């Protein structure tokens, strides 16, 4: 049975970085499955790597995708060693300034899509396999001005931590990755020309560093991967300070 790594969001940013890193570092993986909507970008990624890749150019926010994906899993019957759920997007702005389709798209991609992927793939995972889910430091508290995105990432974080406990008896380990701002296409989409909050540039991380840390945390069976001291401190603050106080400070930070 071929050993496979499945990466959603493989066309760009941290998903793409994961594909390149798995290709270089994991000789035990026979094939990488690349999932995202832009086929041309996935073709570029396939050309970048040495391992065989299966391109699945699909929109994971569409329920119909799951029937097609289930069929692929049944046909290929892979041994999935790694599932990386990196597909996702955010939109900055007040809730009632964002179109309903965009708000629902965030929930469908970041929550429904990720949940469906995990649910379909688990039956194809054996002992000593890994699931890596991209949450965000936005998962740690509610965020006015980024409310739906932060809520979807709280869902990912909560789900990942619970699943890690449920699945450890099967030898499947789940890590939630919670980076602060990372330089990728994410902000081009999330800000769509809006002014960036000053602190995001100050704490902007490099995607290679975030991905390397996530991989090493996953190998070490850690349920959380938080890159960099500033985000670790932020996480501690969100645990010790009342959220009412944090929400008060956000008013000034997000100006
Ligand atoms: N960058 C940050 O500051 C940051 C911080 C914390 C957490 N995160 C999270 O990290 C993950 C990776 O983000 P990134 O920074 O690498 O952003 P990115 O460069 O914009 O990559 C997002 C990926 O998701 C794919 N995608 C989006 N919607 C999709 C859909 N409906 N169906 C299939 N694929 C879809 C995109 O591909 P297509 O357009 O080709 O479909 C792309 O490959 C996301 O979950 C994001 O929320 C990002």
pLDDT above 90 for 205: yes
Q: What are 186-196's pLDDT values in tens digits? A: 999 998 877 77
Using a pLDDT cut of 90, give the percent of the chain over it: 89
Residue 41 — very low, low, confident or very high, per pLDDT cuts 50/70/90? very high
Residue 32 — very low, low, confident or very high, per pLDDT cuts 50/70/90? very high
Residue 197 — very low, low, confident or very high, per pLDDT cuts 50/70/90? confident
The mean-pLDDT minimum among 69-73, 117-121, 216-220, 251-255 falls in: 251-255
pLDDT above 90 for 201: no
Distance from residue 10's CA to the centre of ligand 1 (Å)? 8
**Angstrom distance (rounded) from CA 255 to CA 187:** 17
Can you give the residue range of the structural domain that contains 99? Answer: 3-253
From atom 41 of ligand 1, which residue's Cα is the shortest distance away? 37
**Angstrom distance (rounded) from CA 4 to CA 33:** 7
Q: Which tokens hold the place of 122? A: 């688990």
pLDDT above 80 for 125: yes
Model pLDDT, residue 202? 84
Q: How many domains does the chain have?
A: 1
- For the chain, the farthest-separated pair of C-alpha atoms sits apart, in whole angstroms, at 55
Pocket of ligand 1 (CB under 6 A): 8-9, 11-15, 36-38, 41, 59-61, 86-90, 109, 134, 136, 179, 181-182, 184-186, 189
Model pLDDT, residue 191? 87
Which of left, alpha, beta for 87 (phi over 0: left; psi -120 to 50: alpha)?
Answer: beta
Residue 230 is part of a domain; what is its CATH number?
3.40.50.720
Position of tokens 């929109």?
A: 59
- 61-85 average pLDDT score: 97
Tell me if 140 sits within 8 A of 178, measured CB to CB.
yes
pLDDT above 70 for 137: yes
From atom 42 of ligand 1, which residue's Cα is the shortest distance away? 9
pLDDT above 80 for 117: yes
Tell me if 154 sits within 8 A of 251, measured CB to CB.
no
Task: Give the residue, out of 153, 178, 186, 200, with the most ligand 1 atoms within 8 A of its beta carbon, to mutate for a pocket test.
Answer: 186
Q: Measured at the alpha carbon of residue 213, what is the angle toward residues 212 and 218, in degrees to the nearest 5?
A: 100
How far apart, in Å, are the Cα atoms of 81 and each of 104, 128, 136, 218, 246?
31, 7, 23, 12, 39
Distance from residue 161's CA to the centre of ligand 1 (Å)? 21
Mean pLDDT of the chain: 95
Model pLDDT, residue 255? 58
């Amino acid at each position: 049975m071929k050993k496979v790594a499945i990466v959603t969001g493989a066309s760009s940013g941290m998903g793409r970085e994961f594909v390149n890193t798995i290709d270089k570092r994991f000789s035990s993986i026979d094939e990488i499955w690349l999932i995202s909507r832009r086929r041309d970008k996935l073709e570029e990624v396939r050309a970048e790597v040495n391992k065989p890749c299966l391109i699945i150019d699909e929109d994971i926010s569409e329920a119909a995708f799951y029937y097609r994906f289930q069929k692929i899993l049944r046909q290929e019957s892979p041994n999935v060693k790694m599932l990386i759920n990196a597909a996702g997007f955010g939109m900055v702005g007040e809730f009632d300034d964002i179109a309903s389709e965009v708000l629902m798209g965030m929930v469908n991609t970041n929550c429904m899509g990720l949940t469906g992927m995990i649910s379909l793939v688990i039956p194809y995972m054996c002992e000593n396999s890994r699931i890596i889910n991209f949450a965000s430091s936005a998962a740690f508290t509610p965020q006015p001005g980024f409310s739906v995105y932060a809520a979807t990432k709280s869902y990912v974080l909560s789900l990942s931590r619970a699943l890690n406990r449920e699945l450890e008896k099967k030898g499947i380990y789940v890590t939630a990755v919670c980076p602060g701002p990372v330089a990728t296409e994410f902000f081009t989409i999330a800000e769509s020309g809006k002014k960036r909050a000053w602190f995001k540039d100050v704490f902007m991380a490099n995607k290679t560093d975030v991905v390397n840390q996530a991989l090493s945390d996953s190998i070490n069976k850690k349920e959380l991967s938080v890159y960099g001291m500033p985000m670790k401190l932020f996480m501690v603050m969100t645990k010790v300070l009342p959220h009412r106080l944090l929400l008060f400070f956000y008013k000034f930070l997000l100006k």
